[in-house]
Each structure stands twice: as C-alpha cells, then as structure tokens.
Structure 1
Amino acid sequence: MTTTAPHPPQLLLEGQYAAPEGPVDLAAMYLMHRAFRRDLTLFAQVAGVVPAADRERWQLVARRFEFFSTVLHKHHSGEDRALWPLLAERGADATVLDALEAEHAVIDPLLASVTADLRALADGSGNEATHARLAGTTVDLRDALLAHLAHEESDGMTLVQRHLTDEDWLRLDEEVFKKDYSPREIPAVAGWVASGLPVEDVRRMPGANALLVAVAMFMGRRAQRRDARIFGGAQR
C-alpha cells in the first residue's frame, strides 16, 4: 500500500475565487488561472486606449495575445480531452461538467474575434470601427473568462477534490497537460506564470526543482520587462 505525503495548504492567489480542500494539490491550476486573470485585465485596458493607427504598438499587442490565447487553448483542450471525461467516469456531477465545457465554447469565438481584429490593426487593414469592436470584445472576453475561472475554482475543483486523488492529478499533468508543450516552449510558459510572483509561489509549480524555479524567475523578470513595453502606460 502506498501513501501520499500531505501537501501544503491550497494556494490562494490574488483574484482567486475559491480553493477547495481535499487530497489534490491544485497549485498548478491556480497559478495558470492567476496568469490568465492578469493578462485579461491588461488586454482589456490596452485595447481601449492605443490609437487605431499605431500599427507598431498593435503588432506587439497582437503577438502577446497570440501567446496568451495559445496557452489558454492548450489549457482548455486538456480539460475537455482528459479532466472532464475522467471526472465523468468517476461519477462527478454531469450538470457542472457540461456547464464548464459549454463555457469554453462561449470563450472560443471571443478569442477568435480579438485575434482577427488585432491582426487587422497590426497590418493596417483595420480602422476605427475595428478598434471600437476590439475594445468591446476584450471586455466581453475578460468578463466571460473571469466568470468561467470562478466557476471552475468553486464547483469544478470541488469535484476534483471529491473524485480524484493526487496521483490522478499528477498523472493527468504528465500524460496530458505537459505533453502539449515542447521543451522549447516550457521556459517561456514558466516565465509567463512566474511574472510578478514571489519565489515561494513559483516553488508550487508542478515538478519544481531548483533549476526550474531559477529559470522561471529569470524568465518571469524578462516577461515583466516585455509587458511594461507592451502595456505600460497604455498610451505613448
């Protein structure tokens, strides 16, 4: 019989809605959610104030949004392909699982709309109408995703704690979520997560060792400097 060492208290980060207790250490989920919340706030702020004609600035914002949306897509895809089906297999409340998956479907067209309008402003084919639509859609995306994250942290993670073990969670991370990232992508994603976090929170990243924490902190500082150029002051 194997026993699992007790994990630290559940991580509770700025903006997080809930942290249900149970056998699973959900730090990895909450770290990702915190980065999504941070980015959504920044995109909603910058989209409304950069002039439509400032192609150089829009090119920076568009590349940054592409990174964000790629990580978000991988995160949601892993949940839809593996996490929700495993919970359903274990007898979790189908009403909650169906609602969480449906929320992903609401978010996808908003991501596509923001991506298209950013590209148009970046290549000069956009206009004031494009800019106005983008400013509204980024707020819609922020609000939809914030509501989804809150629902996931409360009801979704409660189901995880009721129906899964820490071994299940670690296996999902190894077999599903980690495999979505190439070795070249991992430092950038680790830095994106670590940006603005104290080192004690970065140490809660899955598989964290001294090397990974050092890389994440270094890349996090680089990410902060980059974001200051992209988002800082919102207007030039």
Structure 2
Amino acid sequence: MTTHPTRRRQLPPGRVDFSIMYLTHDAFLRDLERLRAATREGRTGDLAVRTGWETFKHQLHVHHVGEDEAIWPQLRERLERAEDVAVMDLMEAEHGAIDPMQDRIDAAFAVGGGELASAVEEFADALAAHMEHEEERALPLVETHLGPEGWARYSQYMLTSQGLPEAGAYLAWLLDGAPGAAREKTLGVLPEPVRTMFLDRFEPQYAAAGHWSATAV
C-alpha cells in the first residue's frame, strides 16, 4: 500500500475545520508522487497508471470547480483590502494554468522520455505550490470572512452537486492510503447507511478498478 503523505502545517486551530480540504490536498500530493514514480519507471503506458491519472484529473476538476463556484466568488465579495483581493486573483490565475499543464502531460504520454518527465515535474511543482498558497493565504481569509457558515455552504454545494455515487467515488479516492485517524474521522461523520454503502460498494469498486499499480491500493 502506498502511504498517504501528510504535509506539515503550522496552523493554529480556528473556527473552521479545514481537515477535509487538507486531506484532499494530501491525496493530490500522493497521486503526484505516484505519477512521478510511474514516469521514472517507464510505466505510463500501463492501464493502472492511466486509470490513476484519469481519476486524478477528474477529482482535481471537481475540486477546482467547487472552489470557483462556491468559495472564491462569495469570498471576493467580502474583501476590501487590495492585498486580500490579490490572493483571489492568484487563486484564479493558478487555476487557469492547471488545464494546459495537464494537456501537456496527456500529449507527452505518447512521446515519453524527457518531454513527459519535464511535463510531469512542471505540473507537480505548480500544483503543490498552488495548494500551499491556498492553505497559507486563501483559507485564512475564508475563516475570517466566511466562517463556519460559509464553509458549510461550500460543503453542502459539493454534496448536492455530485450526488451519492460521485461522492462515494471521491471518498474512496480520498481515503486511499490515508492515515487511520483521518480515515476514522472521515467515515465517522457519515450516516450509518452511507458508511455501509461506502465500505461494501464504493471502496471495493475503487480498488477493483486498479489505480497506478497493483500494489498502490
């Protein structure tokens, strides 16, 4: 099993529980390392690697659409200081740069070699930097200006916009290799029927699909 990485964060406890956001970012970091490993080892033609990459792209798209629709516009409306508005501009610009980098990787899969390695490193560095900027600059603004109520509206948007099958697939991806405490906390907030469905249906479906390698899940 591939260990789920955890970024060390020096953030004091606040009014908003961002743990699901941090866990999502850690899952992206986990898959970036898997992509790097597959590139180094020449496995990018493997079905498991392509499946992992497509799942990664889908989850990143859903994640960024949720932010662009349900967090950043509402937050921007409440900001007055130019330096805070600049953070929103940065989030928008960094989101806009992601898709072209992914397209470069897709094109480079057919070429391989140095072009693919370069595309993967460019993308991995850019996404890691974006998530760090988001955690250090944007989320404190969310806590100050939107608070728990605003964060709850975002969480509700993500649930209602995805539906149960999509949410189940997200959770299976999210908890792939996650630390036991994080897994227990995440599953602990689910209603019993949903938790049972996740364990009996969604998680086995994710495992059966094969992601990155036979030993990754």
TM over 0.5: yes
**Does 1:33 pair with 2:17?**
no
- What whole-Å deviation, never above 9, does each CA across 1:157-189 have from its counterpart, x for those lacking one? 1111111121211112212x2234232222221
The verdict on how the C-alpha distance between 1:214 and 1:200 changes in structure 2, with shifts beyond 3 A counting, is farther
> Is 1:43 equivalent to 2:35 in the alignment?
yes
Task: Note if contact 1:24-1:165 (Cα within 8 Å) is conserved in structure 2.
Answer: yes
Structure 1 spans left out of the alignment, 5+ residues: 1-12, 119-125
Tell me what 2:121 maps to. 139
**Partner in structure 1 of residue 97 of structure 2:** 106
Secondary structure of the corresponding residue to residue 136 of structure 1: helix
1:202 equivalent in structure 2: 183
Paired position in structure 2 for 1:158:
140
Higher helix share: 2
Q: Deviations over 1:203-229 (max 9, x none)?
A: 443953344445556655775683463
Q: Which amino acid aligns with 2:108?
A: D
Q: TM-score, normalised by structure 1?
A: 0.75
User: How many angstroms apart in 2 are the aligned matches of 1:116 and 1:231?
Assistant: 27
- Contact 1:107–1:145 under 8 Å retained in 2: yes
- CA distance in 1 between partners of 2:166 and 2:100 (Å): 25
Cα distance, 1:209–1:203 mapped onto 2, change above 3 Å: farther
- Separation of aligned partners in 1, 2:8 and 2:64: 18
Give SS of 1:181's match.
Answer: helix
- Note if contact 2:23-2:174 (Cα within 8 Å) is conserved in structure 1: yes
Show structure 1 runs of 4+ deviating over 3 A.
16-21, 203-207, 209-228
For residues 1-236 of structure 1, the aligned pairs below 5 Å read 14-50=6-42, 55=45, 57=46, 59-91=47-79, 93-118=84-109, 126-127=110-111, 130-175=112-157, 177-205=158-186, 207-213=189-195, 216=198, 226-227=210-211, 229=213
C-alpha contact (below 8 Å) 2:49/2:213 kept by paired residues: no
Task: Supply the RMSD in Å over aligned alpha carbons.
Answer: 2.7
Return the offset for 1:149. 0.7
- For 1:189 and 1:73, the matched residues in 2 are separated by 12
Q: How many residues align?
A: 206
> TM-score by structure 2 length?
0.81
Q: 1:203 to 1:209 in 2, by over 3 A?
A: farther
| In structure 1, distance between residues paired with 2:206 and 2:10 | 27
Q: 1:132 to 1:215 in 2, by over 3 A?
A: farther
Higher-Rg structure is: 1
Change in 2 beyond 3 A, CA 1:169/1:189 = same
Letter in 1 for 2:127: L
1:79 Cα deviation after fit: 1.1
Go from structure 1 to structure 2 and tell me whether the alpha carbon gap of 1:194 and 1:216 turns closer, same or farther (over 3 Å shift). farther
- Give the number of the structure with larger relative contact order, counting CA–CA contacts within 8 Å between residues 6 or more apart: 2
